[in-house]
């Protein structure tokens, strides 16, 4: 692209957009910056960045701009890649339409969706692989997007690919630092904490023999037993740390990463707790379905709940249990507000001979529980 195609103002806006999307290393923040910048660059009223799933056949996440919170929640389930949006998935190349409603593949709009006409779609390619698509609608000040708008958006998509890759590499570097910290913490726990607890227990056992009354001796013995239990718990933690460090990124890390990614849509970071040997007892098939269910649950909260707090817990035992609790408006009596997302979560549980429930809490909010056999 040269100045013969776009004027100085357009080129200046492109440079500003590139600088904007390069100013953050958090992936979710980068994605939001990209769609905000693209929308501003070509004067679009609405914009969305759709992320492709692992099969590259549908959309797994939708980052939007231009919609107010009330409209966003009213729309309900976000697109999965049908109709016009699916065209870019099937054939990843720029697409411009003066009126997307007149295209033969138009899928229509769900209730409460604002009307849209002009359309510009551009794929984002990271390392020769389509990462997602930019969808821009309703060119302001003109009937349709121009060839210059397309050139500018293609150029921005190239810079977006670099920013996304940088964010990914930064996340991976952070994971490696965490793994190094795990090894160090495991060593410190073994070499220092356990040895001191063991020595304290021996000292207390010696003191118990000198106790003047049976009551004091019993209390000391109880303290020794408590220390012994503590040592066993710490050894379990050490085992988990060492196994996770040896295996690389485990389910714990992937759950934490996913909740961090949801922070942009939720407006806050969910609280996460784990119980049991999550990284060793849960096999990859169950882990994959658990993560997909968690992603769906957090997306539902972001779209429907208007929550200010979310608690996520993962339990590994005889059953693998995922619980997602929010303090939002609660699930309607007819189940509205979950739609396809709830059905997807239930299906994932059933396919693994498990169970799924979603219910309104007496104290307000919603509790989603997904449980499947551990083996």
pLDDT above 90 coverage of the chain, percent: 24
**Least confidently predicted of 115-119, 167-171, 172-176:** 172-176
Give the pLDDT confidence score for residue 180 in this predicted structure.
Answer: 61
Instruction: Give the residue from 258, 292, 305, 311 showing the smallest Cα distance to 372.
Output: 292
**Averaged pLDDT, 30-51:** 90
> For residues 86 and 125, which has the higher predicted lDDT (pLDDT)?
125
Other beta carbons less than 10 A from residue 65's beta carbon: 19
- State the span(s) of the chain assigned CATH 3.30.450.40: 8-171
Query: What tens digit of pLDDT does each residue of 207-237 get?
Result: 666 666 777 667 777 676 766 676 666 666 6
pLDDT band for position 3 (cuts 50, 70, 90): very low
Query: What tens digit of pLDDT does each residue of 182-206 get?
Result: 666 666 666 666 666 666 667 666 6
Give the pLDDT confidence score for residue 1 in this predicted structure.
Answer: 42
Would residue 365 be called left, alpha or beta, if left means φ above 0 and alpha means ψ between -120 and 50 degrees? left
**Least confidently predicted of 49-53, 78-82, 106-110:** 78-82
Contact 52, 60 (CB under 8 A): yes
**Averaged pLDDT, 302-330:** 90
**Averaged pLDDT, 291-315:** 90
- State the span(s) of the chain assigned CATH 3.30.565.10: 250-375
Query: Is it the case that residue 300 has pLDDT exceeding 60?
Result: yes
Query: What tens digit of pLDDT does each residue of 238-282 get?
Result: 565 555 555 556 788 889 888 888 887 888 989 888 888 787 788
Instruction: Give the residue from 168, 90, 154 showing the smallest Cα distance to 125.
Output: 154
Q: Specify whether domain 8-171 bears CATH 3.30.450.40.
A: yes
Give the pLDDT confidence score for residue 351 in this predicted structure.
Answer: 92
When the candidates are 1.10.357.10, 3.40.50.460, 3.40.640.10, 3.30.565.10, the CATH number that belongs to 250-375 is 3.30.565.10
């Amino acid at each position: 692209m040269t100045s013969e195609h776009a004027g100085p103002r357009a080129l200046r806006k492109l440079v500003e957009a590139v600088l904007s999307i390069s100013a953050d290393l958090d992936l979710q923040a980068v994605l939001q910056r990209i769609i905000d910048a693209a929308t501003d660059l070509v004067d679009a009223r609405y914009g969305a960045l759709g992320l492709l799933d692992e099969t590259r056949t549908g959309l797994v996440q939708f980052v939007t701009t231009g919609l107010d919170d009330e409209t966003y929640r009213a729309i309900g389930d976000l697109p999965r890649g049908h109709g016009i949006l699916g065209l870019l998935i099937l054939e990843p190349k720029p697409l411009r339409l003066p009126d997307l409603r007149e295209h033969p593949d138009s899928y229509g709009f769900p209730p409460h969706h604002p009307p849209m006409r002009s359309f510009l779609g551009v794929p984002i390619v990271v390392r020769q692989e389509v990462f997602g698509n930019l969808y821009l609608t309703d060119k302001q000040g003109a009937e349709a997007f121009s060839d210059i708008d397309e050139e500018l958006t293609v150029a921005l998509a190239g810079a977006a690919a670099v920013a996304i890759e940088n964010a990914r590499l930064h996340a991976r570097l952070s994971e490696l630092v965490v793994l190094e910290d795990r090894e160090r913490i495991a060593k410190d726990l073994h070499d220092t904490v356990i040895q001191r607890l063991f020595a304290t227990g021996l000292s207390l056992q010696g003191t118990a023999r000198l106790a003047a009354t049976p009551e004091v001796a019993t209390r000391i013995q109880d303290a020794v037993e408590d220390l012994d239990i503590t040592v066993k718990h710490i050894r379990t933690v050490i085992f988990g740390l060492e196994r996770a460090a040896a295996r690389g990124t485990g389910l714990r890390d992937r759950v934490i990463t996913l909740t961090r990614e949801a922070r942009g849509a939720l407006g806050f970071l969910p609280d996460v707790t784990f119980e049991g040997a999550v990284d060793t007892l849960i096999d990859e098939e169950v882990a994959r379905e658990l993560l997909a269910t968690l992603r769906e649950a957090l997306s539902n909260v972001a779209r429907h709940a208007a929550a200010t707090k979310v608690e996520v817990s993962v339990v590994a035992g005889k059953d693998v249990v995922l619980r997602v609790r929010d303090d939002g408006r609660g699930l309607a009596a007819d189940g509205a507000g979950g739609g396809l997302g709830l059905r997807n979560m239930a299906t994932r549980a059933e396919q693994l001979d498990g169970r799924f429930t979603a219910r309104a809490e007496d104290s307000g909010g919603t509790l989603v529980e997904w449980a499947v056999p551990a083996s």
